[in-house]
Amino acid sequence: MRHPHTPISIRTPLLVGLLMSLVGCGPQPSQDSSDDVNTSSAAQPDANHTHIDLSTLSLPEGFSIEVLSDAVPNARQMVLSAGGTLYVGTMERGDVYALPNALAPNPPPPVVIASDLVMPSGLAMKGNDLYVGALHRVLVLKGADAALESADPAGTGALPFEVLLDDLPDEPHHGWKYLGFSPEGALYIPVGAPCNICLSDDERFASILRLEPDGSTSVYAHGVRNTVGFDWHPETGALWFTDNGRDMMGDDIPAEEVNVATKPGMHFGYPHVHAGTVLDPEFGQGKQPDDYSPPEVLIQAHSAALGMKFYTGDRFPSEYGLALFIAEHGSWNRSRKVGYLVSVVTFDESGSHYKPFITGWLEGENNWGRPSDVLVTPDGNLLISDDQAGVIYRVRYTGT
């Protein structure tokens, strides 16, 4: 269902605190900050009190990390416009940020360009248009950079977000979005399973949807429990995506997955088969693992692999050419915490090789940051969003 030109008010810096009721219809967000979890107050981000200490982070030789901005509470998916504005979504915060000239030496502070949305975690750009996935809705801001520049600094104007879709499932459990446009220009929209483990009558649950430019929607991939990160391989064009495994089967089963979809209609196992080989105790009865597409890469269970991107720059050493960087948000229901890191998968003749790339946000059982997304900049650096510390980091290679 389309509602062109439905106005959605924004909050400029001068309007903070003067919000009208903007776009608040729809269910309330779940309060979890993990990616597979119902309420867990211990895991709530507290951006105002997190102590950012980059010296605790470990990177490979020759790499350095810096804070691009520490004023983006609850930062989730990032997208960079051709004009250099970094847009950042959030979950429970309900805001969307813009960081104009984000990669310039002294960028201005972030601006809140939309508020009171329901989990606006997923962002994508097509041309100059910004798309925001907020649970059951997809919003679009045409000509985003220009709209931002022309916004009335007194805050009396509204950025003209339009509602492109509002009939996606509104189940908040795993309902938050990650968005991306395929090389062919279709918008991919995941809809997570509305549960830890279940089989739904609505085939849109536990899937990745594809929205064509003409507005038609189809299920592109089945059996996907909860993907919060994907990218298209720069050479093969295949869709690679993370998928968070089910809970309550112990500390180490099933593994988190990175899957590859080469065509429409593939089934990746959920809820019947996990991690390629693990039959679900309930929904795996009578099922055969071979009937489902297995993961390409396995990651420690409960790591919560979220945002992922192929490295397309030319600044990092050659082993990172087309490597896959993954933000691992970290565990919530494990006896000892895992994840809270950025990993990298490199590829050579012998296959794929997974290794931690940046660690240190987790110290013992205490975490001060949670990576949620990654982005490769045109100048070959890596940005990382952190929804606990409320930070965007920039990773550079400065070695020789």
Minimal distance in Å, beta carbon 193 to Ca ion?
11
Cis peptide before 281 (omega within 30 of 0): no
Instruction: Using the minimum distance from each CB to Ca ion, give the nearer residue, 268 or 332.
Output: 268
- Kindly tell me the sign of the dihedral angle through the C-alpha atoms of 170, 174, 180, 186: negative
Instruction: Using the minimum distance from each CB to Ca ion, give the nearer residue, 131 or 241.
Output: 241
Instruction: Using the minimum distance from each CB to Ca ion, give the nearer residue, 180 or 269.
Output: 269
Q: Which residues neighbour 159 within 8 Å (Cβ) at sequence distance 6 or greater?
A: 8, 9, 10, 113, 114, 141, 147, 148, 151
Instruction: Using the minimum distance from each CB to Ca ion, give the nearer residue, 231 or 257.
Output: 257
Instruction: Using the minimum distance from each CB to Ca ion, give the nearer residue, 133 or 269.
Output: 269
Minimal distance in Å, beta carbon 243 to Ca ion?
5
Minimal distance in Å, beta carbon 33 to Ca ion?
24
Strands 266-267 and 217-222: parallel
Instruction: Using the minimum distance from each CB to Ca ion, give the nearer residue, 130 or 258.
Output: 258
The DSSP bridge partners found for residue 366 are 363
Minimal distance in Å, beta carbon 274 to Ca ion?
6
The DSSP bridge partners found for residue 36 are none
Contact residues for Ca ion, defined by CB under 5 A: 257, 268-269
- C-alpha–C-alpha distance, residues 76 and 120, integer Å: 9
Minimal distance in Å, beta carbon 90 to Ca ion?
27
CB–CB of 195/202 below 8 Å? Answer: no
DSSP 13: G
User: By Cβ distance, which residue is nearest to Ca ion?
Assistant: 269
Q: Pinpoint the alpha helices (H) of the chain.
A: 144-150
Minimal distance in Å, beta carbon 253 to Ca ion?
13
